[in-house]
Structure 1
Amino acid sequence: MSTIIYPSPIFGPVHSRRLGISLGINLLPADGKVCSFDCIYCECGFNADHRPTKPMPRRQEVAEALEAKLKDMLANGPAPDVLTFAGNGEPTVNPEFPEIIDDTLRLRDKYFPNAKVSVLSNSTMIHRQAVHDALMRVDNNILKLDTVDPIYINKVDRPCGHYDVNQVIEDLKRFNGHVIIQTMFMKGDHSDNTGEAYVGPWLEAVRQIAPSQVMIYTIDRETPDRLLQKATHEELDAIRDRVIAMGIPCTASY
């Protein structure tokens, strides 16, 4: 099984399907995965197969590594389109996440003021006020909502603790539009969320959240569950068009 474990705290830059030239910021250990989900489609593999032995990077370590990389990119290129919090799991579980966001915004403004700061999160920590407030400060607050069906969530996203999708939707609404909803559509045994039974209620949740944008996508790399399949271009395009019809910008990545 091929999985990706990212260096920490800085990796890349890489080319993102959705964001362009992206410098990665990984707030999780460099030798394993720490996540509040255990998704069957995660490119980093299952949590149990990649238990870390190293600690999470601290605020000062992240700031020093980020500044060194930004200095190098300023001198030698390429210029980043975005600084993206991603990596080996859920970035908002790092206890210094809010402070690290502040450092990153300061360094972005100093070296590449036109670059955006993005956070890719599974939405499990947005009930914490400090996390909410930090996400309000970034340019691209990209939060996951794969479905509103609890059975599907437990089979596919596999939360590691308590997860109430209705509460998550309420917490997403609290961003008052400063949020980009990201949704994975795919197919597999008992994991197809491309049909109307899933898409219709998801669209209603998106309407209530009223995000600034929606990003829908499908599998791009090898997954821990080998039976998963990509959603088709036609399926993604049809879902995208229904979001746009509600007056919300939407992109599809294949």
Structure 2
Amino acid sequence: MSERFKLRGVSPRDGEIVYGPVLSRRLGYSLGVNLNLRRGKTCTFDCVYCQYGRTINLVSSSEELADWLDEETILEEVRLWLRRLIGESQKLNSITFSGYGEPTLHPGFGEIARGVRGLRDELYPGVRVDILTNASTVTDRRVRDALREMDAVVAKLDAGTQEIFEAVNRPAEGVETLEDIVRSLAELHDETGRVTLQTLIFRSASPSQGDNASADELESIAEAARSIDPVEVQVYTVSRHPLEPFVGPAEEDTLKEAARRINSVIGRKCAKIYI
């Protein structure tokens, strides 16, 4: 295997459209596709725990920014990488939209999603096309239509109440309410059966800064998850350097309690802890 394609923890900050492959605990051998290449993280959230630092371009929609990379360039780069990986006999489980910010913000996301799925069918049949999303744009029907192209939609759910949602995820002005996001995720899962949730639980070291590890909030998260009824809920905590210094990892017992509450409220064992 050439040096370029050795498995490594490649960061999407490098300005590359495609990065990896990386070995993911959740997705297996994953080739990342990064749609946000402008300087600074582009996202609808400024999460207190984000390993990529502060959101420089904090927006609620793609219309607030110009100069997005064109769809043809992105798809050609994905094609190039897939062909090279075939030549290297690289095992691949997933082509994953993730990267440096929220991938669904790209105004051509639907076209890109369909194009990547076509390239998968042509060059790497059997490999999943997945997305890691914060779910903030799923209230947009066009985004939900594009997400139908995914084999797995791995969506964030770090809060069960609007108060904690605003404190933890710090959404841009104009982002829909948590209630609307949860409702739209439920609609998407009803249509596709492909929604998985990721829930990061953390502890705050500051008395003035809240967290999402209280018993009441864990119960609220479980209730929100029940309304979506996802394939799985991936419960985990901080493992890399977070944005805010007050953010610390939750105890293993807290993660177990979160999973227990989710399983109890939903009525089946769908919550899994990743440590």
Matched residue SS, 1:125: coil
CA change 1:7–1:208 in 2 (3 A) is: same
2:271 is equivalent to residue 247 of structure 1: no
Question: 1:131, CA displacement in angstroms?
Answer: 0.8
The answer as to whether partners of 1:31 and 1:54 remain within 8 angstroms in 2 is: no
Out of 162, 169, 176, the position equivalent to 1:157 is 169
Matched residue SS, 2:19: strand
Mean alpha-carbon deviation: is it higher for 187-196 or for 217-226?
187-196
TM-score, normalization by structure 1: 0.91
2:197 is equivalent to residue 181 of structure 1: yes
Out of 240, 243, 246, the position equivalent to 1:227 is 246
Partner of 2:7: none
The answer as to whether partners of 1:169 and 1:205 remain within 8 angstroms in 2 is: yes
Identity of aligned residues (%): 29
Partner of 1:105: 117
Please, which runs of 5 or more residues in structure 1 have no aligned partner?
none
The answer as to whether partners of 1:213 and 1:250 remain within 8 angstroms in 2 is: yes
Query: What letter is aligned with 2:107?
Result: P
Query: Where in structure 2 are the equivalents of 1:206-225 lying within 5 Å?
Result: 206-225=225-244
Matched residue SS, 2:82: helix
The answer as to whether partners of 1:214 and 1:248 remain within 8 angstroms in 2 is: no
The answer as to whether partners of 2:75 and 2:115 remain within 8 angstroms in 1 is: yes
CA change 1:67–1:6 in 2 (3 A) is: same
Per-residue Cα deviation, 1:2-40 (whole angstroms, up to 9, x for no partner): x97243311111122211111000000153211010111
Question: 1:237, CA displacement in angstroms?
Answer: 2.3
Query: Where in structure 2 are the equivalents of 1:70-219 lying within 5 Å?
Result: 70-162=82-174, 163-175=176-188, 176=190, 177-188=193-204, 189=206, 190-219=209-238
Partner of 2:70: 58
Question: 1:241, CA displacement in angstroms?
Answer: 3.3
2:16 is equivalent to residue 8 of structure 1: yes
TM-score, normalization by structure 2: 0.85
CA change 1:224–1:49 in 2 (3 A) is: farther
CA change 1:4–1:81 in 2 (3 A) is: closer
2:85 is equivalent to residue 69 of structure 1: no
The answer as to whether partners of 2:218 and 2:261 remain within 8 angstroms in 1 is: no
Question: 1:209, CA displacement in angstroms?
Answer: 1.1
The answer as to whether partners of 2:135 and 2:181 remain within 8 angstroms in 1 is: yes
Question: 1:150, CA displacement in angstroms?
Answer: 1.7
CA change 1:24–1:151 in 2 (3 A) is: same
Per-residue Cα deviation, 1:168-214 (whole angstroms, up to 9, x for no partner): 11111101143111111111132321221101111111111111111
Q: Report the Cα distance in structure 2 between the residues aligned to 1:34 and 1:79, rounded to whole angstroms.
A: 30
The answer as to whether partners of 1:8 and 1:30 remain within 8 angstroms in 2 is: no
Please, which runs of 5 or more residues in structure 2 have no aligned partner?
1-10, 59-64
2:31 is equivalent to residue 23 of structure 1: yes
Question: 1:249, CA displacement in angstroms?
Answer: 2.0
Alpha-carbon RMSD:
2.2
Out of 231, 238, 241, the position equivalent to 2:257 is 238
Q: Report the Cα distance in structure 1 between the residues aligned to 2:113 and 2:194, rounded to whole angstroms.
A: 16
